[in-house]
Amino acid sequence: MNAESSRVAVESPGDLVDRRLVAWFYLAACLFLLVSMLGGILMALQLVRWNPLKGIEFLSPGRWRMVHTNAVAYGFLANAFLGTLHWAVPRLTMKPVASRALSYFIFFAWQLVVLATAGGLIFGPSFQAQPWLEELTAQTQLSLSLGAQGVEWGETPFWIDPVALVGLLLVAINFMVPVARSKGPMYVSLWYFVAAYIWTILTYGMGNLMPEYAVAGTNAGAITGLFIHDLVGLFVTPMGWGLMYYFVPIILQRPIWSHGLSLVGFWGLAFFYPLQGIHHFLYTPIPMFLQYGAVISTIAVELVVATVIINFVGTIWGDGEKIKSNLPLRWFYCGMLYYFITCFQCAFQVTLTFQKLIHFTDWVVGHAHLVMFGVFSMWIFGAMTYLFPRLLRRPWYSRQLAEWHFWLSAVGVFVMWLDLTFAGVFQGFWWSSLQPWMDSVNGAVPFWITRLFAGLAMAGGFGCFLVNLYKTWRMPPVSESEETMDLMLEPATV
Ligand code: HEM
């Protein structure tokens, strides 16, 4: 990693990167994030007892919830990661991807997978009820779930799963070839990416196929716990950290503080993460030794994450002022701060003592937003803020809009997290003191109203980003020098 920034600066990566494709992936990511946020807001409205789409079966809140989570995971995060990989991998290896045609094929195929998933989630259950399908299901004894599968994050209808798996395999091949062809040291970013390609295929296959066809009962519960956690830990996390190890040294123009520590982080993740899935199902009939094992390995991962955060703090040490002026850097380090908070919180919530109180409460939803939006989406926004000017060959249109995007997102998600964390504690006490159920629902309404406004702030921030992007795209292109693109570092002008 140490030589990474200098290597990129010395050798021009020129034709290696297909900027148009990176921009397409980013635009697709933005489109799906918009849909997801809309779904989140609709769910939030439903919880404060105002459902604007009442009576429309296809757009009922339960379906919107699945569209919300699936669009974020497979539409936003996956597209954004794929776009960034198309920028970073050729630069890190100094080799193009295996095939540009394959990259375009993957782009269109992946959008189809995401759209088909949304279609399956919205329309599937209605087709499911068709008499001919029910009869066929009864005759074949096969679970022909055209609609959602009953697996959290694996709701994708069963017929999409093999297609998605083939897509993930093609992605792995496309990015592994340049890594295999490259000479010299393998940067730590590439360690993370290579691991993510393999782990994602295994994780997706395990979570979408095994509970559906191979295992049942508590065993299936254990597998789905593993799946939902590994999606975050073995797909999103290595991608996110890999990108941080790529962007931060380049922007700061200095090597990462400790290469040794970066390897501790990698191997710690590889060893401890796959053991912790069952922490989602504490106090279930899953054997206690597995539950205890999951708790201990979760706490171990918190220590691993701490080493990674220390490494990045060490890297910026003495240059902290840059966070004020350099927006991508600010996104990255704010995400790291939230990462620290979320992991600190996790070390408590994973214990059986805390679980007694907060299980199934809004505490968990707050935690999920802090990690998915406060950490990984922030890193993606940082990467987009850094790369869009380079992709469009125009500096950002407005610094103010970019600042609004940052502050509305950062404050919005923090308020949402804090609010839902408190809501969770209250709900836990209401439930454990055996108050009537409706008391806990009525008591949660003020928290849910606050969450709605926090969500609107996050969506408003994203709106600023989209307006800024549109206005930037409408400006005439400027010189191609990297310095011109860094006008974002200058004080606000527009
Ligand atoms: C516009 C802002 C947003 C609002 C208003 C919002 C609202 C919601 C609501 C109401 C739920 C369902 C909670 C429940 O079932 O009780 C939810 C779930 C979830 N949202 Fe969002 N959301 C927003 C943005 C996001 C973003 C941008 C992400 C990720 C990047 C995200 C990730 C999640 C996750 C992971 C869950 C599932 C939580 C769980 O099952 O524990 N949300 N959201």
CATH code for position 394: 1.20.210.10
Residue 84 has pLDDT above 70, yes or no: yes
* Pocket of ligand 1 from Cβ distances under 6 Å: 37, 40-41, 43-44, 47, 65, 68-69, 72, 364-365, 368-369, 372-373, 377, 455, 458-459
Token pair of 160 as six digits: 């999409």
The residue whose CA has the least distance to atom 24 of ligand 1 is 37
Residues 253 and 345 grouped into a single domain? no
Residue nearest atom 9 in ligand 1 by C-alpha distance: 40
How far is 396 from 204, CA to CA, in rounded Å? 37
Contacts of 194-198 with C-beta under 8 Å, sequence gap 24+, read 195/234, 195/238, 195/266, 195/270, 196/234, 196/235, 196/238, 196/239, 196/242, 197/168, 197/171, 197/172, 198/172
Residue 420 domain boundaries: 320-494
Q: How far is CA 472 from CA 25, 389, 446, in A?
A: 18, 8, 39
Query: Does 63 lie in the same domain as 174?
Result: yes
Report the alpha-carbon distance of residue 34 to residue 288 in Å, rounded.
41
Residue 412 has pLDDT above 80, yes or no: yes
What percent of the chain lies above the pLDDT cut of 70?
A: 89
Examine the pLDDT at 132 and tell me if it is beyond 80: no
Query: Is 207 in the same domain as 326?
Result: no
Distance in Å, CA 68 to ligand 1 centroid: 7
Report if residue 302 sits inside a domain: no
Q: Say if residue 463 is in the same domain as residue 389.
A: yes
37 and 455 Cβ atoms separated by less than 8 Å: yes
Confidence category of residue 12, pLDDT binned at 50, 70, 90: low
- Does one domain contain both 167 and 71? yes
Q: How far is the CA of 373 from the centre of ligand 1 (A)?
A: 9
Mutate to test the pocket of ligand 1, among 72, 359, 445 (most ligand atoms within 8 A of CB): 72
- In a domain? residue 295: no
Kindly indicate the confidence band of residue 150, based on its pLDDT and cuts at 50, 70 and 90: confident
pLDDT at 494 > cutoff 60 = no
C-alpha 377 to ligand 1 mean position (Å): 13
Q: Which atom of ligand 1 is nearest to the CA of 412?
A: 2
Crossing angle of helices 78-93/19-47, nearest 10°?
150
User: Does 196 have pLDDT greater than 70?
Assistant: yes
Reported confidence tier of residue 493, pLDDT bands at 50, 70, 90: very low
pLDDT score at 435: 95
In angstroms, rounded to a whole number, what is the distance separating the alpha carbons of residues 125 and 142? 16
Residue with the smallest CA separation from ligand 1 atom 27 is: 373
pLDDT at 137 over 80: no
Does a structural domain hold residue 153?
yes
- pLDDT, mean of residues 325-339: 97
Q: Nearest C-alpha to atom 42 of ligand 1 is from which residue?
A: 369
Q: What's the CA-to-centroid distance between 310 and ligand 1, angstroms?
A: 29
Distance between CA 243 and CA 193 in Å, rounded? 9
Among 214, 242, 263, which residue terminates a domain? 263
pTM of the model: 0.91
User: Is the Cβ–Cβ distance between 17 and 91 less than 8 Å?
Assistant: yes
Query: Going by CA atoms, what residue is nearest to atom 32 of ligand 1?
Result: 369
pLDDT tens-digit profile of 444-480? 999 999 999 999 999 999 999 999 999 999 999 887 6
Would you state the pLDDT for residue 32?
98
Among the residue ranges 277-281, 369-373, 410-414, the one predicted with the least confidence is: 277-281
Q: What pLDDT shows up at residue 14?
A: 59
Longest CA pairwise span in the chain (Å): 70
Ligand 1 centroid to residue 476 C-alpha, Å: 38
Do residues 239 and 326 share a domain?
no
Report the nearest-CA residue for atom 13 of ligand 1: 365
Residues 6+ apart with CB under 8 A from 399: 488, 490, 491, 492, 493, 494
**390 alpha carbon – ligand 1 mean position (Å):** 31
pLDDT greater at residue 148 or residue 162: 162
pLDDT at 429 over 80: yes
* SS3 of residue 55 by DSSP: coil
Weakest mean pLDDT among 67-76, 103-112, 117-126, 229-238: 117-126
Please give the pLDDT value at position 6: 41
Q: How far is the CA of 84 from the centre of ligand 1 (A)?
A: 24
- Indicate the range of 146-160, 181-195, 274-288, 394-408 predicted with least confidence: 146-160
Residue 38 has pLDDT above 90, yes or no: yes
Q: How far is the CA of 345 from the centre of ligand 1 (A)?
A: 18
Q: Which of 235, 263, 291 is the last residue of a domain?
A: 263
| Distance of CA 175 from the midpoint of ligand 1 (Å) | 31
User: Closest ligand 1 atom, CA of 44?
Assistant: 10
Q: Please tell me whether residues 384 and 245 are part of one structural domain.
A: no
Helix (H, G, I), strand (E, B) or coil at 359: coil
pLDDT on residue 191: 95
Instruction: Report the half-sphere exposure of 337 (CA within 13 A, side-chain side).
Output: 11
Q: Coil, strand, or helix at residue 14?
A: helix
Within-domain flag for 340 = yes
CA dist., res. 186 & res. 164, Å (int): 28
Residue of 41, 49, 69 to test ligand 1 pocket, by largest number of atoms within 8 Å of CB: 69
Domain tally, the chain: 2
The first and second tokens of residue 74, run together, are 């497979």
Confidence (pLDDT) at 328: 96
Cα–Cα distance for residue pair 334/356, rounded to 1 Å: 31
Picking from 263, 289, 308, the residue at the C-terminal end of a domain is 263
Average of per-residue pLDDT across 182-197: 93
Q: What is the mean pLDDT of the chain?
A: 89
279 inside domain: no
Q: Which of 36, 68, 380, 464 to mutate to test the pocket of ligand 1 (most atoms within 8 A of CB)?
A: 68
From the CA of 76, give the closest atom in ligand 1. 30
Which amino acid residue places its CA nearest to atom 38 of ligand 1? 365
Percentage of residues of the chain with pLDDT beyond 90: 71
Q: DSSP for 214-272?
A: I--HHHHHHHHHHHHHHIIIIIIHHHHHHHHHHHHHHHHTS--S-HHHHHHHHHHHHHH
pLDDT of 141 reads: 58
Q: How far apart are the C-alpha atoms of 72 and 62, rounded to whole Å? A: 16
- How does residue 373 score in pLDDT terms, banded at 50, 70 and 90? very high
Q: How confident is the model at residue 57 (pLDDT cuts 50, 70, 90)?
A: confident
Lowest mean pLDDT: which of 144-158, 286-300, 359-373? 144-158
Higher per-residue confidence, 312 vs 6: 312
**Nearest atom (ligand 1) to Cα of 362:** 16
Q: Is the pLDDT of residue 64 over 80?
A: yes
Higher-confidence residue: 145 or 459? 459
- 238 and 357 in a common domain: no
Does a structural domain hold residue 105? yes
Residue 417 lies in a domain: yes
| Ligand 1, pocket-test mutation among 365, 380, 414, 465, most atoms within 8 A of CB | 365
Q: How far apart are CA 145 and CA 137, in angstroms?
A: 9
Q: Alpha-carbon distance 442 to 465, whole Å?
A: 36
Q: For residues 266 and 243, give the distance between their C-alpha atoms in angstroms, rounded to a whole number.
A: 13
**For residues 363-390, average pLDDT:** 97
pLDDT per position as a tens digit, 200-258: 999 999 998 888 788 888 888 889 989 999 999 999 999 999 999 999 999 999 999 99
Distance 291 CA to ligand 1 centre (A): 26
Ligand 1, closest atom to CA 77? Answer: 30
For residues 157 and 35, state if they share a domain.
Answer: yes
| Separation CA 192–CA 188 (nearest Å) | 6
Question: Which residue, by CA, sits nearest to atom 10 of ligand 1?
Answer: 44
Q: Which atom of ligand 1 is nearest to the CA of 367?
A: 41
Residues 410 and 343 in one domain: yes
pLDDT at 147: 54
Q: Which of 1-15, 133-147, 156-170, 457-471 has the highest mean pLDDT?
A: 457-471
Are residue 259 and residue 324 in the same domain, yes or no? no
Q: At residue 142, does pLDDT exceed 80?
A: no
Which of 27-54 are b and which e, b meaning 16 or more Cβ less than 10 Å from the residue's Cβ? bbbbbbbbbbbebbbbbbbbbbeebeee
User: Is 140 among the domain residues?
Assistant: no
